[in-house]
Amino acid sequence: MSFLFGSRSKHLPPGPPGVPIIGNLKQIPSNEQWVWFHNISKKYGDVNTLHVLNTTLIVLNSQEAIDALFNKKADQYSNKPSRWMANWSNLIWTAPFMPQGPDYEYVRKMFHDEIGQQVVGKYNKDYETSSRSFMQTLMQNLHSPDLTQVIDDSIGHVFLKVSTGYEPKPTDTILKQLNDLAHFAADVLADKFQVFDLLPPLRWLPTWTPVIGPMLELGAKWKKQLDATADETVKLAQEGKDAGNNSVMYDITLGKKSVDMRTKMIGATMNAGGMLATESATLTFLLAMAKSPEIQRRAQAEVDGLTEGKRLPTMADRPRLPFVDAVLSEVLRWVSIAPVITREATKDDVYNGHLIPKGATLMANNWAISRDEKLFPDPEAFKPERWLDASGTKLRDDLLDPMQFAFGFGHHTCPGRYLADALLFSHYAHILTVFDVALPPVAEKAQLDADAKMKVKSNGAACRVEEVYVQLAPRSAAATELINQATTSVPAPAPTAETASPSANGPASPVPNGAPNAKSNAAH
């Protein structure tokens, strides 16, 4: 009877009809689902129901709907759909997978205390050092076929430094371990192992079973390795402390004399949570600068106005670089790094007269917010000026800030958002000071023109532009000198014979990312 009364007497939100048993399974594209979701909302309204086998999916395609449920009813919409692989591999001990409860609240508090808005400025020097190291690496790798790897290394450095106080050496394996972990966690979050949730008996198959066996082995490998990696970060925190550096990990573990599963995972979680996203935002920036030379010139002019090309930018310059800040906001809007964010309905609810049934998977279509013409007219265009007020010198405060959508919602909102914001700002300001970013020469540009539409590819749960063919050239001999002489406590890896530029000031060549031989792309 309860089905007939109360919330259950309401209808599910409208959506395209499916077929028996599999529902809408075949209609949902495997690539860029968020575009398809957005398109169906034009016909059925901003909240839609889809069925896939025995799962009910409710897709939220507007900021209003996402805000009403994920933010305003955060207590009710903070559970993630359960994923067996997260339990099996121990990822359940990291924030993106932890169930709500005291352990999760404790971990969030640690993040807030250590990298929250009020305190994240204490790492300003680390962002600057990391940017300088990144510039040196780019300078030495102008011909690198693998820009993502170069970016990963640089970002890995800063995370490890902030999380453990330890300065990684080029021979350390910890950065690779953390990078691999970031990719594995992103795959679990993107439901690449969902088959074990849909068909539980598969969990007991022997490991020699084709396709399924390697997945089981991968989970088992991480069960051991995650623990070992977390222990390693605690050890590094002690080394960092011995070298005179405080760190997040030291403060929350050894400093408090309490190393437990919740806290020792934080260093690993910082990388897993932040690495792919920050890499994505760096690649998008490079592509946007290459495609929009006038915007790049304006941003460079703003930085030059402060530094006169005689010094590198610092975090203290930020208040006087509003256009660079506008570029950062536009990067975060233009390519949604996490286009779809999922939750599970923990009880029946009603939204705008429609039933949201307990157990349904809710999908917040973040990309739909970024393409909402009411909020962002001409949404496909990269227009940093949309973030500035009429004077062009101040960020608008009447526009939905990327902090309110690009970094997620409710209790799970990205705890690394202030760190990401600071690090990306520092990277962008440095790139603008030192390099000209351009599209490659004519022959390769023809290929780009043939495929003018920007494509986004999924790197597990984090997305990024599929191909970033750009060329970097030092802006001047003085810019090269600034970078060569910059002090970075992190040694830049030595260039190899293949990657070394013939001359730091010589002609730059394209730095293709996403090329078939690119290491970090091959696996995904």
Written as one letter, the residue type at 69 is L
Q: How many C-beta atoms surround the C-beta of residue 433 within 10 A?
A: 22
Identified binder of ligand HEM from the candidate list 338, 355, 439, 463, rule CB under 6 A: 338
Closest CA to 269 of 153, 131, 115: 115
Tell me the C-alpha distance between 193 and 45, whole Å: 31
Shortest Å distance, C-beta 405 to ligand HEM: 9
Nearer to ligand HEM, 402 or 510 (CB): 402
Q: Is 463 annotated as a binding residue?
A: no
Shortest Å distance, C-beta 95 to ligand HEM: 4
**Binding letters toward ligand HEM, positions 46-85, x by CB under 6 A:** ----------------------------------------
Shortest Å distance, C-beta 133 to ligand HEM: 17
The length of the chain is 524
**Binding letters toward ligand HEM, positions 204-223, x by CB under 6 A:** --------------------
For residue 1, what are the β-bridge partners?
none
Q: Is 355 in the site for ligand HEM (CB under 6 A)?
A: no
Q: How many C-beta atoms surround the C-beta of residue 201 within 10 A?
A: 7
Q: Mark the segment that binds ligand HEM (CB under 6 A) among 120-128, 136-144, 215-223, 268-276.
A: 268-276
Coil vs helix vs strand at 362: strand
**Antiparallel, parallel or unpaired: β 340-344 and 354-356:** unpaired
Shortest Å distance, C-beta 320 to ligand HEM: 23
Shortest Å distance, C-beta 269 to ligand HEM: 5
Q: How many C-beta atoms surround the C-beta of residue 493 within 10 A?
A: 17
Tokens 């990327």 belong to 402
How buried is 60 (Cβ within 10 angstroms: 0-12 exposed, 13-18 middle, 19+ buried)?
buried
Shortest Å distance, C-beta 117 to ligand HEM: 13
Q: Is 341 in the site for ligand HEM (CB under 6 A)?
A: yes
Q: Mark the segment that binds ligand HEM (CB under 6 A) among 166-174, 177-185, 335-343, 442-450.
A: 335-343
Nearer to ligand HEM, 78 or 520 (CB): 78
Shortest Å distance, C-beta 423 to ligand HEM: 7
Q: Decide: 266 and 252 in contact? Cβ < 8 Å.
A: yes
- Helix orientation angle between 417-434 and 293-307, rounded to the nearest 10 degrees: 90
Residues touching ligand HEM, count (CB under 6 A): 24
What tokens does 284 get? 């998008």
Tokens 């623990």 belong to 227
For residue 47, what are the β-bridge partners?
60
Q: Is 407 in the site for ligand HEM (CB under 6 A)?
A: yes
Nearer to ligand HEM, 98 or 479 (CB): 98
Site residues, ligand HEM (CB under 6 A): 95-96, 115, 269-270, 273-274, 277-278, 281, 337-338, 341, 406-409, 412-416, 419-420
Binding residues for heme are 414
